[in-house]
């Protein structure tokens, strides 16, 4: 079981603030929650991630369409804000899957700079994935879909509005800063090319009810 609070400096922050409701988002298998106390932890968490992004050893940049720059393993950052948001991701998993435990297989931050995007993919080795929006970045008035996270999966009815099992309509859930989304890890999703200047920053976790054998990444990739 998790503790109920995480200490940020002299403050004690509730992992699951009262009155926070998990809502269905587009399809019953996708759920969403908005956290409103983001000023308590976003500034320090964003600063930490941008600091880590400068670290050549920790940052991983594969190619432009591979979801920006990744910094893996939130649990190794020695950062209370990362600990809080990870506890929230695990609490969401346990609430939605109605279970007593949540084991993170892999977690990471994504920093998108101008032109970065994420090609359609699923997440391996996990039951559910959680995505959290720290900063959606700049809006582009000439391209409203810029930098938007979307599902592109024919298993979602909302993606098949013209014909059953034909993916004709990407589903773009609204994800303002402080939004946490949980979905089955196999659902195909993507992020549109980001045209803004301010870094667009998200966090992700792959979560299971039980720990899996072996590490999710080879040591040199971690
Ligand atoms: Fe993903």
Ligand 1 centroid to residue 164 C-alpha, Å: 24
Residue whose token pair is 């989304």: 181
pLDDT at residue number 67? 86
| Other residues' Cβ atoms within 10 Å of the Cβ of residue 24 | 10
Ligand 1 centroid to residue 149 C-alpha, Å: 9
Ligand 1 centroid to residue 112 C-alpha, Å: 13
pLDDT at residue number 2? 59
Ligand 1 centroid to residue 206 C-alpha, Å: 9
Q: Is 91 helix (H, G, I), strand (E, B) or coil?
A: helix
DSSP secondary structure string for all residues of 159-222: G-SSSTT---S-B-----TTEEEEEETTS-EEEPPP--SSPEEEEEEEEESSPPSS-SS-GGG-
Average pLDDT across the chain, whole number: 94
pLDDT at residue number 25? 97
Ligand 1 centroid to residue 60 C-alpha, Å: 15
Write the CA distances from 160 to 152, 155, 182, integer angstroms.
Answer: 9, 8, 20
Among the residues of 67-131, which ranges form H helices? 80-97
Ligand 1 centroid to residue 70 C-alpha, Å: 11
> pLDDT-based confidence at 220, cuts 50/70/90?
low
In terms of CATH architecture, what is 20-208?
A: Sandwich (2.60)
Q: Where are the domains of the chain?
A: 20-208
- Window from 52-66, 72-86, 115-129 with minimum mean pLDDT: 52-66
pLDDT at residue number 219? 61
pLDDT higher than threshold 90 for residue 98 = yes
Ligand 1 centroid to residue 137 C-alpha, Å: 18
- Helix then strand count (H, E) for the chain reads 2, 13
Ligand 1 centroid to residue 204 C-alpha, Å: 8
pLDDT at residue number 222? 47
Report the C-alpha gap between 149 and 172 in whole angstroms.
Answer: 6
> What residues does 151 pair with on adjacent strands?
171, 189
The model carries a pTM of 0.94
For 117-149, the pLDDT digits (tens) are 999 999 999 999 999 999 999 999 999 999 999
pLDDT higher than threshold 70 for residue 1 = no
Give the dihedral sign, CA 158/133/113/105. negative
For 14-50, the pLDDT digits (tens) are 999 877 889 999 999 999 999 999 999 999 999 999 9
């Amino acid at each position: 079981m998790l503790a109920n609070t995480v200490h940020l400096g002299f403050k004690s922050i509730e992992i699951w603030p009262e009155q926070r409701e998990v809502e269905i988002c587009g399809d019953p298998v996708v759920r969403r929650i908005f956290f409103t106390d983001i000023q308590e932890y976003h500034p320090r968490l964003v600063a930490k991630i941008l600091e880590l992004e400068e670290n050549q050893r920790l940052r991983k940049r594969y190619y432009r369409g591979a979801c920006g720059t990744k910094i893996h393993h939130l649990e190794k950052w020695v950062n209370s804000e990362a600990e809080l948001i990870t506890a929230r991701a695990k609490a969401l998993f346990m609430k939605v899957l109605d279970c007593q435990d949540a084991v993170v297989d892999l977690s990471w931050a994504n920093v998108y700079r101008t032109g970065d995007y994420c090609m359609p993919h699923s997440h391996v080795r996990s039951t559910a994935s959680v995505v959290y929006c720290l900063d959606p970045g700049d809006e582009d008035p000439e391209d409203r879909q810029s930098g938007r996270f979307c599902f592109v999966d024919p298993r979602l009815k909302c993606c098949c509005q013209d014909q059953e099992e034909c993916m004709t309509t990407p589903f773009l859930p609204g994800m303002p800063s402080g939004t946490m989304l949980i979905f089955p890890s196999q659902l195909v999703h993507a992020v549109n090319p980001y045209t803004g200047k301010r870094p667009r920053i998200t966090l992700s976790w792959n979560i299971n009810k039980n720990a899996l054998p072996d590490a999710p990444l080879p040591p040199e990739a971690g």
